[in-house]
Structure 1
Amino acid sequence: MKNVLLLIAFLFSFSFSQEVVVSKDKAEKLGIKTTAVKYKEIFITKTYPAVVNENPTLSYSVSSSVDGIVENLYVKQGDTVKKGQVLLTVYSPKIADIQANIEMAKVKVDTARQVLEREEMLYKEEVIPYVRYYNAKIEYQKAVGELNALRRILSSYGEIKGNSVVLRSKVNGFVADLKAIKGSPVSLGQEIMYIHSHERLWVIAQLPFQDAQNLKIGQKVYIKTPLGKKVEGILTYISHDIDPKTKRNDVRIVVNNVGDLLKPNLFVDVEIPVSSMKGLVVPSSSVFRENGKDYCFVKTGNKFVLREVQVGSRDDKEAVVLSGIKEGEEVVYSRVIFLRSSVFGGGGE
């Protein structure tokens, strides 16, 4: 009730002129706030339709490095997975054979080592000739070489646990197109599942040729979702060809999909700075339109004076004012509706 009376008193303090007198205390209680008009460089943006695509450098096909059988399957279709998480293990008779050969090679190395140690001792005691010691040394080195060769072959199949190949996710993402179940036979290179990653996505926009010429690789752009959310992206590619149907240039933007706001095949708008200029800048909330004209309120002492202004460009944050105000003047950007209602009585455009 107190706030209502305060507002009524405030409205009656205006005497049907283009000035509204409000004390500092009342202005604070009403939430009227001001900011200084600034002269600075601003970027002129244009908006283009675009579509979200998967990033093929992150999504990938999971396949086995060897023929075998799905021993354990730890995920199902649609599951979210983390980078490094175990997806499945594949038992392979071939891996089992290599493991068995490694065990035999280890025994051979141990035997050759024992022979070498004995022959070395006998040689030092001048019981046997050097050639016998040398041959034992060669046999030991040969056994070690065979063991190391088998281990290299085993490691070429990836991560091994027992007689199975362990397959982990290479990215953060989710499981799509799962094509196997526990016990399924798989062959070398056969796709078992597909992992989609939406951490970073591509946004593809089509620009007129003349607009694309002003762009630079690495510049920041903004993607606006259908829900009005904005996501920052980086321009990474400008097509060297013109689309024969649309006569436009494709450009690619890479976006860190924070909050999972974007999905592949989603239609979005891309806001791209195409030029820059210097001018007087105020918050967009400071400027309002009434009877086909743009206005703002300028604070002078305890008065708020209505000013007609000419707006050059405007987005949801800032407006460029070409005339009507000066650098350093204080303009109202919060609770403008109170002052506007006092002058025009509500309504407006």
Structure 2
Amino acid sequence: MPVRFDAVHDCFHDLLASGRETGAALAIDVDGEPAVRLTGGARKGTDPWRADTLVAVYSVGKPVVALCLLTLVDRGRVDLDEQVAAYWPGFRTPATVRQVLTHTAGLPAFPVPRPPEAVADWDLLCADLAAADPEWEPGSVAAEHAWTYGHLVGELVRRVDGRPVGRFLAEEIAGPWRLDLGYGLGEADQLRCADLRYGDPEWPRLVAGAPGSLRFRAVDNPAGGRDLSVLNSPLWRGTEVPAVNLHATADAVARLYTGLLAGGTLDGVRLFGADLVTEATRVQYDGDDLLLDRRTRWTLGMQWEPDGSWGMGGLGGSSAWADPECGYTFAYTTAHLADHDRVDELVEALHSCL
């Protein structure tokens, strides 16, 4: 790592030394080139975190599943302003593809309570969504579609293309761009996974919201999404839950954003047109988000920040984005489920270097 980024290195290792981090990776590209690659702590037990360690990154995966659908938009197979029902017959909610991608479709929670094992039943959960009435008029307001986003977007991919979204991602994006990430891992890749752990024993309760609230309904159904016995199981790792269970290395996520920042081309391989990237990363909704309970600017799958950066953070502290003004991409993947203050400090250190 260049001496220029010593402050980032020191901050990362201070987090580990203090116990505020117990297992993580950090990847930063600057001006399209790798600048920082750090790993530290344990993957599982005393097994050290390695460069190829995969970890579940919660909502950091939402832009990834969005890109699968946007690939079909770029190829002219999907119209952003067409009704979902045009591609998914029987879909009840009168939402457009664009509204699904911007969390304004009105389906922020699965409507039928389901147990943990239901995560493996794609058809059941999609049928629940297809039959549901929206909680408000589509397009009128946003609420992050915490769990439902991946099934809404992923089923659109499957209906149009025929492949499950995990296979589509592997063959159309991860493979060509050599990205070590995926949904529905096989046995060999599951062996590389880090075990998630609570940085605070109260974390599952703190992130769920008040029982009965919109946030609680959205993150607690199907059950088990904050339960370590589920999250670290073959069921979770081997199943496609695209909104929340992308398993990835930090390097892969940083490189993905580097390709987008370059207009859709990475290492000479063009996957997206520059116009598609421009449309996908501009603000599509600016207003209240009823689940996040704050003003949010949604692009087609990402959050846009006032400094012009765009990306997504996940429950537990993983986060990734691109900063066009400063010319860098950033990815932090962690197994230590806690707040995002670790990322805040790493970014402060990075900006001191830039």
Which of the five TM-score ranges fits, normalised by the shorter chain? under 0.3
Select the structure that is richer in helix.
2
Q: Structure 1-normalised TM-score?
A: 0.17
More strand by share: 1
